[in-house]
Amino acid sequence: MPRSRCPVRVDERDAAQLSDTAPEASTKRIGRRVLCMAGQAVIGVGQRGIKAADKRTRQVYGAEKLQHDLAEHGIRVGICRIKRIRRKLGIRCKQKRKFKATTNSEHIFPIAENILERFGLKASMSRKGNCYDNAPMESFWGTLKQELVHHRRYRTRQEAIRDITEYIEVFYNRQRLQPRLGFLSPAVYEQRYYAGLVAA
């Protein structure tokens, strides 16, 4: 969905006239304003709608992703309105915690044991001169830590496994919109990709 411009507010008294001239418009009512955007009558999103969308997307979506999420739920709204309401409510995406860098080889901090060597395993390394071999996986680890792990305190290993598995299998693969996939979830993108191959 292309980014829509900020909508023009229309008083609620004009809603009936708008619905007559734009029969394709949604008839759901959220809040007390009906908006006119791109020649269609659409429903304005209030603070409750933005809060609900932020909670549904686990507080990891910015304004652009929220706009696409709301569109998937049948609500068209301008991105500037979303930004304005987010600022008013103090809504921000989860931020990863900053850790002290330990790149100085002379530091006195304890060094973690290399578990791979204990089990006779080799670390996955990029090919010589190709730093992109592991880039997709490293990017995912960063997302996982920023959106989930750094905001949790796991009491047991099993609790961590359950939480991370749920994040990957339910939220990341099936719900989380990916801008590089055209604002689709990985599961939906895969389905459309193979459907296109079959159709071809």
Report domain extents, the chain. 8-89, 130-199
Enclosing H/E stretch for 54: helix 47-56
Residues 30, 75 contacting (CB under 8 angstroms): yes
Query: Is 127 or 140 the better-scoring residue by pLDDT?
Result: 140
- What is the per-residue pLDDT for 82? 92
The residue with greater pLDDT, 86 or 35, is 86
If we measure between CA atoms, which residue out of 136, 164, 132 comes closest to residue 150? 164
d(CA 57, CA 144): 14
What does each C-alpha distance from 97 to 9, 139, 163, 187 come to in angstroms? 40, 16, 19, 29
Where is average pLDDT lowest: 18-22, 109-113, 189-193? 18-22
Task: Classify burial at 60, counting beta carbons within 10 Å of its beta carbon; exposed 0-12, middle 13-18, buried 19 or more.
Answer: middle
In this predicted structure, the answer to whether residue 80 has a pLDDT above a threshold of 80 is yes
CA distances in angstroms from 110 to 100, 102, 104, 118, listed in the order given: 13, 10, 13, 18
Q: Is 0.75 surpassed by the pTM of this model?
A: no
Q: What pLDDT is attached to residue 23?
A: 39
